[in-house]
Structure 1
């Protein structure tokens, strides 16, 4: 990443930090190093309480709210945090220190949205079988179906884009219907659009499908997101190169945080959702406009796969899904180019452990841990 990253400086003093934006493989190394007594202290968010076991004897709660939202910790969350202290078979007793008063109610109510809420949104009711709906929710479902029928939009189309608000989908459909020139501007053949087509696709996706948080994200203005998207798609950069490209961040730490957010939130999570929905909607209007009986239009599968995994080849995706960082995957992908699954990768490695000798000793250790 960078020798100037504050995590590097902290680790030299036996301290680490752990939060959701840190790549999973670094989180794992931090926890393992802590459990192996190579790190003394971890400063963390509640991510470390979510299914992560450590050998901590002491837990210090320096806040009683969740993140910066001033959302008080629930009794369940407090108990979960306390449960990190004094792990079984490691310490006879654990200690918890509080900087603020916390409340631990005996019982917490966990609501399942689809079944416990009296009033569901239109986006929620279309995901539920009609026979499971009643009263206001059934009326909402009927009104939604009537609206889609009035706009000549298939119910199945809207349902498959379940993460996108219905009114946004309808707005994009009606825009493409009224401005068919954009069907041509965004059209491409093959796996990957040219830059101009990708610009059109991104602009329409942002304008019509982005949620409010992503649309108004001040840490990534839209032309910067567009530039970084194209840089990632067409240049296949390393994590270090992505960090360097964070032009609007000044310090090394802010550049790294920005790069992590870009990858974990936008590339791996948000963009694939938006582009899947755009592909579905575009192809529906395209086929409608050109009176196509057979399926036509565009395919964003290549871009979506590349964003989600950082790779498109089966062996590389298998290595990435196993937990290896992208830079290690790139170094060994050629060695396993004839493998179509993680099991084949493992078998080939067992037959010839020297196949990964191009990795550093630390990278080889990581490879063996995950593979």
Structure 2
């Protein structure tokens, strides 16, 4: 089914008159605005083709309707004959301290609310221009200390790049916990909630900004079953603390119609739910069954052949599905011969493996992007897709969590994310990647399984405010008593009366289910009481023996039985000993390797000699990356922090004077075997391989200082012998 035809009019004048009528009615204004965007797109396209659009004869009327629709930026880019009224409108919609940027009407409205000191919740489509709005708010010079929470490390870096280019001279930008505030400039902290929680230098906050605020809400299954999400809890705890601390706050997110639960904390805010878009979208709807892979693939091939040379994003449910789609597109041979850039391909082959699926598809013009990829490869994917040669990007849910790109076309291959169906809210977020202001006035969205049914996914229920009966106790523990509901007070009193777990441990590990904390405490205390010699082995300072690693992994799978599933490690009663031994062996190999690259090469070599049942060698490479990304980089350090807190409490309560320190081990996992300054550089997009080359020279710097590391990296770019052209390309792309 085609909802919006690309040939969108029969008679130009009739079309313009219809748009004018729709713009005059508040209920239909957004439809009228989209019609104006289509006209502008037609005029722009015809101009590029050196043709005359049917609408060009009505330029004066069109300009009037552009103003009426609030699309003020297009006045200066699409029209040459500006009169005094046009100039006044343009100038009155420019933000403070910005000579060239022009707001559209929705941006101006929100900007004025913020500048006047109001707390604002903004919900708007992807193409509304929220990033530009934020940058110009910060340019106003009203704020000296700003905290900006984003949900992922990818978004930390994307936001860093945007704000550094526009605000780097005025603000000190802190985006990694190895950085300390110097105090010389106003400061912007761009961090995830977990990193905010680990800092003790955030005192007075002028403006608190929460990006993607919908992530405050818990998700529920179709049967209204509560889905526990540890990151939702940590986000609620951090946001609650910052709302109380900040002079002003600003929440930003897409496609939300209603927000419930803030009133318990604050009712002093303005909720703006805007449908203002700066691009139009054609929606093409099919009705393939979810399991009809061949039918959907045939449709993808058809679309790509008809859109040859245009940028196309293909969304699918998982990394393995992305690889399968890419492989089958390549088999059809529609993308031509191998692309050039042999230096880049040789670099990837040497750094990883020639049989890695990412490498093979990249050569054919297909870019893969998902959360399992090393960060530098994620950066490379977007940089190449935003360039000229690679026109197809296949990605997973990262499309709405850190991919800074739009395309002419978006194909929604699966109506699912992993095994769960996507809701209407997620669908709208994916759809919002089609089209781009000034570049693609009109985008195309192909829904191969149809459009999800309307639901209530566009409402956000904030747990720390509503505190329903299903609210996890570890969240209630972190809510000050004055903000707890009567039900929550009663639940917490009943629990704390019976529990021996100190409140400090629960708060320090608020993202971990309280029953899992209880279980961990019980198991470790049992070791203390019944096997003190084994307990003493847990009290290490740098690296533990394999016996201790096995003990810790045994504790992990007992306390958090689903912890390994995110790394696709299947655990059952029949294979638990084998799995624990295999994972412990990997961990010891990782800890004893000098570099992450060395560890990967060792694992790849082992997998080539010892193939796993049902898993190709190429797939085993992605599997190893998934273990590092999910288990090593996140799950293990989080669990070690809990174990460390429990050991500290048991030692204190029982007067055990043996000292231990898990800090080094946690850093080995969190920083992926790099000093923290170089770890920050890696997050910015510089590959491990490049960093390892730089460190061979044994630089006389503080490797835990990002500023010293950044200065050193810039000098390395000038060293022809130390780094090759591809290494320098990555450093340049990182915009350090």
Same fold (TM over 0.5): yes
| 2:416 paired with 1:85 | no
**SS class of match (1:91):** coil
**SS class of match (1:118):** coil
Picking from 25, 35, 44, the partner of 2:376 is 25
Is the Cα contact below 8 Å between 1:78 and 1:104 reproduced in 2?
A: no
Cα 1:312–1:184 change in 2 (3 A) is farther
| 2:529 paired with 1:166 | no
Picking from 634, 637, 642, the partner of 1:277 is 642
Worse-superposed segment, 221-230 or 210-219: 210-219
| 2:379 paired with 1:14 | no
Unaligned runs of 5+ residues in structure 2 are 1-351, 572-578
Report the Cα distance in structure 2 between the residues aligned to 1:177 and 1:55, rounded to whole angstroms: 53
Picking from 232, 250, 254, the partner of 2:590 is 232
TM-score normalised by structure 1 residue count: 0.87
Report the Cα distance in structure 2 between the residues aligned to 1:104 and 1:57, rounded to whole angstroms: 25
Query: How big is the shift at 1:305?
Result: 0.2
Query: How big is the shift at 1:95?
Result: 1.1
Query: How big is the shift at 1:351?
Result: 5.3
Report the Cα distance in structure 2 between the residues aligned to 1:41 and 1:77, rounded to whole angstroms: 21
Give the number of the structure whose residues are more often helix, by fraction: 1
Cα 1:159–1:361 change in 2 (3 A) is same
Is the Cα contact below 8 Å between 1:21 and 1:261 reproduced in 2?
A: yes
Match of residue 118 from structure 1: 468
CA deviation vs aligned residue, 1:66-118 (integer Å, no higher than 9, x gap): 2322x2x3333222222211212222321111212214759810222222342
Cα 1:189–1:31 change in 2 (3 A) is closer
Cα 1:86–1:205 change in 2 (3 A) is closer
TM-score normalised by structure 2 residue count: 0.46
Give the number of the structure whose residues are more often strand, by fraction: 2
| 2:588 paired with 1:244 | no
Is the Cα contact below 8 Å between 1:14 and 1:38 reproduced in 2?
A: yes
Report the Cα distance in structure 1 between the residues aligned to 2:455 and 2:443, rounded to whole angstroms: 21
CA RMSD of aligned residues (A): 2.6
Report the Cα distance in structure 2 between the residues aligned to 1:94 and 1:65, rounded to whole angstroms: 22
**SS class of match (1:365):** helix
Is the Cα contact below 8 Å between 2:409 and 2:444 reproduced in 1?
A: yes
Query: How big is the shift at 1:312?
Result: 5.0
Is the Cα contact below 8 Å between 1:187 and 1:297 reproduced in 2?
A: no
Match of residue 99 from structure 1: 448
Match of residue 57 from structure 1: 408
Query: How big is the shift at 1:155?
Result: 1.8
Picking from 693, 714, 727, the partner of 1:331 is 693
Query: How big is the shift at 1:358?
Result: 2.0
| 2:545 paired with 1:194 | yes
Report the Cα distance in structure 1 between the residues aligned to 2:714 and 2:524, rounded to whole angstroms: 54
Is the Cα contact below 8 Å between 2:553 and 2:580 reproduced in 1?
A: no
Report the Cα distance in structure 2 between the residues aligned to 1:248 and 1:273, rounded to whole angstroms: 31
Match of residue 177 from structure 1: 525
**SS class of match (2:442):** coil
**SS class of match (1:179):** helix
Query: How big is the shift at 1:367?
Result: 1.8
Query: How big is the shift at 1:3?
Result: 0.8
Is the Cα contact below 8 Å between 1:206 and 1:215 reproduced in 2?
A: no
Query: How big is the shift at 1:271?
Result: 0.2
Match of residue 362 from structure 1: 726
Cα 1:43–1:235 change in 2 (3 A) is same
Is the Cα contact below 8 Å between 2:611 and 2:617 reproduced in 1?
A: no
Picking from 649, 655, 670, the partner of 1:308 is 670
Query: How big is the shift at 1:214?
Result: 2.7
Cα 1:56–1:177 change in 2 (3 A) is closer
Report the Cα distance in structure 1 between the residues aligned to 2:474 and 2:494, rounded to whole angstroms: 12
Cα 1:182–1:284 change in 2 (3 A) is farther
Is the Cα contact below 8 Å between 1:49 and 1:80 reproduced in 2?
A: yes
Unaligned runs of 5+ residues in structure 1 are none
Cα 1:267–1:245 change in 2 (3 A) is farther
Report the Cα distance in structure 2 between the residues aligned to 1:281 and 1:190, rounded to whole angstroms: 16
Match of residue 242 from structure 2: none
Cα 1:315–1:344 change in 2 (3 A) is same
Is the Cα contact below 8 Å between 2:369 and 2:395 reproduced in 1?
A: yes
Residues paired across the two proteins, number: 362
**SS class of match (2:434):** coil
